[in-house]
Amino acid sequence: MENKIVVLITGCSTGIGRELCKILYNKGYTVVATARKVEDLKDLPAALKLPLDVTKEESVHKAIKEVMLNFHKIDILVNNAGYSVRGALEEVNVSDVKSMFNVNVFGIINMLQAVIPEMRKRKTGKIINIGSISGKFVQPINGAYCAAKFAVEALSDALRLELSSYNIQTTVIEPGPIKTNFFKTLAENSNSVISNLNSCYSYFYQKDSKYRKKQKQADPTETATTISNIILKEHLSSRYKVAVPFTYSMITHFPDFLKELFMKNI
C-alpha cells in the first residue's frame, strides 16, 4: 500500500469528485475519499473514507493525520470541494457569498496548509485545484462565483512560484458546464434571489434560467476520466480547460471590451 500513489480528494459526495474516486480506484491508486458527511460515501470504492469539512481547520488536520497514519504520505491532493451562489451583486446575500468563499477559496488554503508540509518533507507532490471556466471570464448575476474561481486561478499561480524548488507541482483544472448536481444546488442556494419577479434584475434571472435549461452539459464520467489522465501526467501544465464549449473557450481569448460586448448580447 505504501508504494502506491496516494490521492486525497475533497468533495466526493457527488459530481466530479465522486467519479474521479471511482476512476482512480479502478486504476489501482490508493484513493482517500472525503466529504462533510462520510455516510454520503458509503457506496463509493476507496481505500479510505473520511469526514472532512474544508472550512474547519480541526476537521482538516484530523483527516490529514488519519491519512498519514494509514499511508505515511500524500502524493496528490485534489481540491475539488465547491459550489455556487447566483445573484446580482446588489441583491446577493453577503452571508451566502461568505459561506461560498469559505469552501471554494479558504477551504483550499486550509487544505494547502495541512498537506504542503507533508509533501515538502518528501520533496515531491502534486496539487490539483478544480477551478472553472468561470474563473476566466465573468457572466452577469454570477459575479460572486466567478470571483471565487478567479481566486483559485491566483492561488494556483502563486503556489507554482512558491513550491517549484520543492518539486511540488500545481495546476488548475477549468471545467465547463458538467451534468452533475451543481446547477440543482445552485438553484437551491439562490432561489430566494433569482425567483424574485419584482427584482430590477429579473430579466437577467429569467434569461439565465432559460439558458441553463437548454445548455449542453458534459458527461461527468468522461470529464473525470479526462481529469484523471491529466493529474497523472509526469509534468503538469499550469492550467487545463476540460469539457469547455468552443464558444466559451474562444471568449477567454477576447480583449475585455469584446468579452463585455459578447456577454451583453448573450
pLDDT digits (tens, 9 = 90+) for 228-255: 999 889 999 999 999 999 988 999 999 9
Q: What is the pLDDT of residue 33?
A: 98
The alpha carbons of the chain give a radius of gyration, in whole angstroms, of 19
Residue range 188-204: mean pLDDT, rounded: 79
With CA atoms as reference, report the closest residue to 174 among 152, 207, 159: 152
pLDDT, position 184: 60
d(CA 170, CA 260): 30
- Check pLDDT > 60 for residue 212: yes
For residue 208, pLDDT over 90 is answered with no
pTM: 0.92
96: helix, strand or coil: helix
Catalytic residues: 145
Instruction: Check whether 186 has a pLDDT greater than 70.
Output: no
For 197, the grid coordinates are: 419577479
**Domains, in order of start, for the chain:** 6-265 (3.40.50.720)
Q: Which of 136, 128, 137, 79 is nearest to 104 (CA)?
A: 79
In the Cβ-directed half-sphere of 127, how many Cα atoms lie within 13 Å? 31
Q: Rounded mean pLDDT of the chain?
A: 92
The band of 83, judged by pLDDT with boundaries at 50, 70 and 90, is very high
62 CB neighbour count, 10 Å cutoff: 15
pLDDT at 209: 78
Query: For position 187, what pLDDT does the model report?
Result: 59
pLDDT number for residue 75? 98
pLDDT at 179 over 90: no
Measured CA to CA, the distance from residue 223 to residue 116 in angstroms comes to 27
Containing H/E element for 8?
Answer: strand 6-9
pLDDT value, residue 196: 83
Structure-block grid coordinates of residue 101: 468563499
pLDDT of 31 reads 98
